[in-house]
Structure 1
Amino acid sequence: MFSVNHVLRVTVCAAPGGSAKPQRAVKVAEKSTVRTRKLPENPKVELATFDLPYITFYYNQKLLVYKIMAEEFATVVEKMKEALAAVLEEFYPLAGRLAQDEEDKVLYVDCEGEGGVEVVEAAAEEVEVAELAVGEAPEELMKELVPYTGVMNLEGLSRPLLAVQFTKLKDGIALGCAFNHAILDGNSTWQFMTSWAQLTRNEPISAHPLHNRSLARPARIPLTLPISPAAHELANPNPIPPSSLIARVFSFPESTILRLKSAANSSLPAETKPFSTFQSLAAHSWRSISRARRLPPDSITIFAVFADCRSRLQTPLPDSYFGNLIQAVFTGTAVHPLLTSPPEFAAGLLQKAIESHDAAAIQSRLEEYEKNPKMFYYTDAGVNCVAVGSSPRFPVYHVDFGFGRPERVRSGKNNKFDGMMFLYPGKDGGKGIDVELTLDATAMDNLEKDGEFLAVGGDDEP
């Protein structure tokens, strides 16, 4: 029986009664600020309607782990910092600060003040690359490697919009990045990372960012933020996720992905549009997670996809548009038909929801928000939700700063709630997909014992 070929274990919050391993401290050696080398022509970038729903989410965290010789660390970091200053000339909103017009309460990025990117240099010289790439990484270690855990996007009013940490490992370097999610989405994140890597390699960037956010939506929306304006202190923080969440990375090789897709499409009538790779894998995950949660047959479960709207707008925008151009697309069903029907039932629900989110649906969602702007919190997802962010199409393993591709790309703790999935391309290349999933500890234990989730048919040996 063919099975998922690797499971990477990450404890997001230790389950009650669990034993803790001795922690190796990450020692901070230096903190500095890297600023753009010239002021932009447009020093004020107003946030668009697409950006505003994420103001009460947390900074989006990514960790990239590379193999290098220990003695190369100082040279590598200095070169990456020089390239960071250069790339900020193109991606200048990341060097700014959030601000709010005192008169009309419109949020914008101030790009001409005393901004810059926070840079931390640290060392964890007892930690090996393999622990972060293929082994178990304790929560406390992850928190020390990736900055801004627990920091909300609206705190960008007083904090940098990008924080970077270089940590020297025993045999490599850990690059932890925290991006303010009200400023950019996943597409823009990896455009920035790719461009930064290209400049570090002394190559020109391959695509210049498009900063005109009025192309996405010209409306100016006042917001009442849950903060004390004088002190910029949170008045109504986003609820903290439960303390029993567990994260795992399940690696689905290309052969398994093809079998899932074949199973979902096997019974479709002729001339019916086939299900995509994403729809097939998402349907498999949705059904498996619902089964692992032991949900009552008549309960409702929701699936949410954060869909890129660049190509869906009435006037499409290119991938180079820098900002947020995503919206959550929802579908749902009772648990009984989800689990008792063949895979094409779930895949069909997902396909219909995604394809119906066209320019008209996007416009309607924007208008609805503009009439009644609101803050969004984890509790809005509901108790039986599965949500997908990131994409296996993002070139995360092409971020080469001159010393090879990452050994592993992972997410930090932020924005992980019960049922949240992040999809990445498989680190070994091909069309494999890594699924980084967070679940309640009990449900995760059930899922890991679920042969139907981990083995999807075929004659290969694990």
Structure 2
Amino acid sequence: MVKLCEPSGVPLRSEAFLVSKDQPEALKQACGGRAVSTFCALTAHIWKCVSTTRPMPPDATTRLTFLVSIRRKLAPPLPTGYFGNAVIRVGVTSEVRGIVSEELTSVASRIKGTIRRVDDELVRSAIDYFELAERDSRPAQGSLPMTELRVVSWLGMPIYDTDFGWGRPVMMMRAESERGGRVYMMDGDGDGDGGSVRIIMCLEATIIKEFHDMLYAKFSDLIRSSL
């Protein structure tokens, strides 16, 4: 863990949380099984935990943003060999009290629904908007407002396939993760179990312990109830 501080003076802490294969599977089963992806289930759980532990007014508006691949959303789709980023950022908003009290299944369904609504028309509309507004669509630097959470998924990327001559990597992490409110998901330790997930987060230092406890408590409850 690395203790950091954003310009406003709020102390931050970056931490990696490893969840074993059975833990995200338990979340998915609680959210409808195969109908819900690992990304949707984990993101819903993380958003609920963060909204509960952050000191935000219950009536404040919290926003979750994440990236959606548009490689197969465009008409015609991008070529299979297209090299480069092809993503669009979308979001879901709610009052803090709503996310805290809403069922996990419902939150995951909202995230899934937002992803499914991304189509050729929406993508081209977004492109037109950025061109007309002359806005820079690159991600903003620095920490996000406390009411905002941004999730980036690297799940499925072959990050453990690189071998420089001394074997497969043991663990992959971001080189820097000092920007508050950002979450990165990636495959676990490269041990071939095909299901563990590493969650890299940067949050306010005062809530990281409570977030940790809440994150894993839900996994334990779900696994216990399935036995």
TM-score band w.r.t. shorter chain = 0.7 to 0.9
Correspondence for 1:457: 222
Give 1 or 2: higher helix fraction.
2
Q: Deviations over 1:217-244 (max 9, x none)?
A: xxxxxxxxxxxxxxxxxxxxxx957551
Aligned to 2:208: 444
Instruction: Answer whether contact 2:54 2:146 (CA < 8 A) is retained.
Output: no
Q: Which runs of 5+ in 2 are unaligned?
A: none
RMSD: 2.5
SS at match of 1:442: coil
Identify the residue that residue 412 of structure 1 maps to in structure 2.
175
- Report the secondary structure of 2:92's partner residue: strand
Looking at both structures, which has the greater relative contact order when contacts are Cα pairs under 8 Å and sequence separation is at least 6?
2
TM-score in terms of structure 2 length: 0.87
Does residue 259 in structure 1 map to residue 20 in structure 2?
no
Q: 1:367 to 1:405 in 2, by over 3 A?
A: same
Look at both structures and tell me which one has the larger radius of gyration over its CA atoms. 1
Amino acid at match of 2:40: Q
1:319 Cα deviation from its structure 2 partner: 5.0
Determine what percentage of the aligned residue pairs are the same residue.
24
CA distance change for structure 1 residues 398 and 240 in 2, over 3 Å: closer, same or farther?
A: farther
C-alpha separation in 2, matches of 1:381 and 1:361 = 25
> Mapping of 1:168-187 within 5 angstroms?
none
* SS of structure 1 residue aligned to 2:168: coil
Counterpart AA for 2:207 = A
8 A contact 2:63–2:147 mirrored in 1 = yes
Structure 2 residue aligned with 1:13: 4
One-letter amino acid of the counterpart of residue 209, structure 2: D
Query: Deviation of residue 446 (structure 1)?
Result: 2.1
**Which residue does 1:54 correspond to in 2?**
none
Equivalent of residue 113 in structure 2, options 352, 357, 379: 352
Q: TM-score, normalised by structure 1?
A: 0.44
Q: CA deviation at 1:454?
A: 5.9
Q: 1:377 aligns with which of 123, 140, 146?
A: 140
Aligned partner of 1:365 in structure 2 is: 126
**Which residue of 174, 179, 198 corresponds with 1:434?**
198
**Distance of 2:46 and 2:57 partners within structure 1:** 18
Contact 2:162/2:168 (CA < 8 Å) preserved in 1?
Answer: yes
CA deviation profile, 1:142-186 (whole Å, cap 9, x unmatched):
xxxxxxxxxxxxxxxxxxxxxxxxxxxxxxxxxxxxxxxxxxxxx
Distance in 1 between the 2:78 and 2:131 partners? 21
Paired residue secondary structure (1:408): coil
Contact 1:246 1:441 in 2 (8 A): yes
**Structure 1: 4+ residue segments shifted above 4 A:** 239-243, 378-381
Q: 1:442 to 1:265 in 2, by over 3 A?
A: same
Contact 1:338 1:345 in 2 (8 A): no
Superposition deviation, residue 274 in structure 1: 1.9
Q: 1:395 to 1:402 in 2, by over 3 A?
A: same
Is the 2:142–2:180 contact (alpha carbons within 8 Å) kept by the matching residues of 1? no
- 1:260-279 to structure 2, matched below 5 A, reads 260-265=27-32, 274-279=35-40
Partner residue, 2:13: 246
The answer on 1:422 being equivalent to 2:189 is no
Tell me what 2:150 maps to. 387
Q: Contact 2:143–2:181 (CA<8 Å) still a contact in 1?
A: no
- Answer yes or no: is 1:399 the counterpart of 2:191: no
